[in-house]
Structure 1
C-alpha cells in the first residue's frame, strides 16, 4: 500500500487519486470535481500560486468512503469552534433523501445537499487524493512513526488527528466529500462476491439481477451501454 505513496514522492507528483478497483461514480463526475476543487480552495486557501484547481493547501481529499462525520462531533473537538463547510445545494447528483446513505443526519439539511468539509475520520478508503505534502506526511505517520491497525483506519486516524488541531502531530489537512462521489459497486450476480473481506459461502443466497451503487445517481457502470449508444442516462433511484 505505502509503495504507491513512495512513487508520488519519488516522481515528485503534485497529486494523485487512488481508488479501489470496484469503484463507481456518476457520469457527471467532471462537474462534481469542479465543485470539490472550489470547496478545497475555499476551506484551505493559501497565499501561494498553484497550478492545481484544488489549490495546494490540503494533504488528503477523501472522495469515496463508507461514511463520514463532521469533525465538530468528535469528543476531542467538543466546545471548540466549528470547522467551516463548503455546501452545495440542489445538487442533481445527490440521491433523494430516502436513498442517500452515510453517518450524517441528512434529514437536518435541505434535500440534495452535498458537503465539502474538513474530514472527521471517514470509514473505508474507497477513493482519496493525496498531494505531494500529503504523501510525505502519510509515509511518515503510517510507516516511519507506526501503522496501527488496518490501513483505512490508520489513514482516518491521521486525518482525525489533524482535525483535532494537535500541534504535536503531523497537522494533517484532510478534506472529505459527503455524500461521497465514489462508492463501491455491487455487481450483478451472487451477492457473496460483494466483499473479499467478508467470506460468505451460501449457494441459497439470492442472485442480484442488476448491479447497484449507493449514493450514485447516474451510475457509470450501469450506464456504459447508454453512453455508447447515445441513450438517456438511467437514474438508479427512478423506481
Structure 2
C-alpha cells in the first residue's frame, strides 16, 4: 500500500485481529499491532471533561477509543515514520486492495498537484488521508478528482448516509475530494510533516468522539483532509446484532460471546469482495440487509 507502516489499533487479540491478520495474509499486506497502554479510568474521565460544560463531551467508550487513537498516532511520531496508515482492528478491504491503492495514489497526486519529482506515492500535501469511513454530509460543489476503478461496488448495493451521492456517480468511479464531514475512523493515513496539526486539533477533546472531532477539523479547515468516495475500507460486522466494544463502553448494549462472533460469517458493507470473508470462509460475504 506504499506506506512506511500500517499500524493496527487494537487492545487485545480477538476475532477482530485474527480475521484482520487472515485478510492481510491473503492480500500480502504487512501489519504491525503495537501494544496499547492501559489508560487509567482517571485519565479517561479527565479527558471526557476537557472544555466548558456547553460543548459536547465523549461518553466513556468513545473517550477510551479516542485516547487509543491518540496513543497510536504518538507511537507513529515517536517511531519517526514518514507515513503511517492507521486502521481499526475490525476493518475489512477488497481482495484487490493493492490495485485499488495504485489507482488512488495517482488520483491523490493529481488532486493535490504533487510534482513528478516527488517520489512519494501520495505526496505530502495533506494532514489526513481518509480511506475508511461510513460517509456523512458532503459537498457536491467541492473540487474533486474523478477516476475509474473497476472494483467499485454497484451503487444500488451501497448502504449509509452517502447512498444518494454514490448512486449519482458514474459506474465504476471514485472521487477524491477534501473531507466534507465524514464519520467513522476505520482507516486514515498521517505523515510526519503535518502530524502535529492532527495531534494539536484532536488532542483537545470537546466532541462526541475522535472521528467527529476529525470531521469538525476537516469542515473548519483546521486540518487538511483528503478523502475518497466511496470508501476503500469499512468495518466487518460478525452478526446483524453485533455490539462493538465502544458502544458497549458507552452503555449501548452488550457484546456477544467471542466464540459466537468468530464462528459465524458476517458482513462488510460497501466492499465488493471482502478479504476477510475470502480468507476465513473462502466465499463472498452476504450482502448487507436491505441491499438485495
Per-residue CA deviation, residues 122-161 of structure 1 (Å, 9 max, x unaligned), is 1111110111233110112223xx2221111111111112
Distance 1:47-1:27 versus aligned 2 partners, 3 A rule: closer
Do the aligned partners of 1:68 and 1:122 also contact (CA within 8 Å) in 2?
yes
Distance 1:151-1:194 versus aligned 2 partners, 3 A rule: closer
Q: Does 1:9 align with 2:77?
A: yes
Structure 2: how far apart are the matches of 1:61 and 1:30?
16
1:84 pairs, out of 143, 152, 162, with 143
- Aligned positions, number: 210
SS at match of 1:121: coil
Gaps of at least 5 residues in structure 1 are 74-81, 163-169, 228-232
1:119 pairs, out of 179, 182, 187, with 179
Distance 1:107-1:192 versus aligned 2 partners, 3 A rule: closer
SS at match of 2:100: helix
Matches within 5 A, 1:131-150: 131-143=191-203, 146-149=204-207, 150=209
1:155 pairs, out of 192, 200, 214, with 214
Structure with greater proportional helix content: 2
Q: Does 1:184 align with 2:235?
A: yes
2:95 pairs, out of 13, 23, 27, with 27
**Structure 1 consecutive aligned stretches of length 4 or more whose deviation exceeds 6 Å:** none
TM-score normalized with structure 1 length: 0.76
What is the RMSD computed on CA atoms of the aligned residues? 2.8
Structure 2: how far apart are the matches of 1:52 and 1:213?
30
Do the aligned partners of 1:62 and 1:175 also contact (CA within 8 Å) in 2?
yes
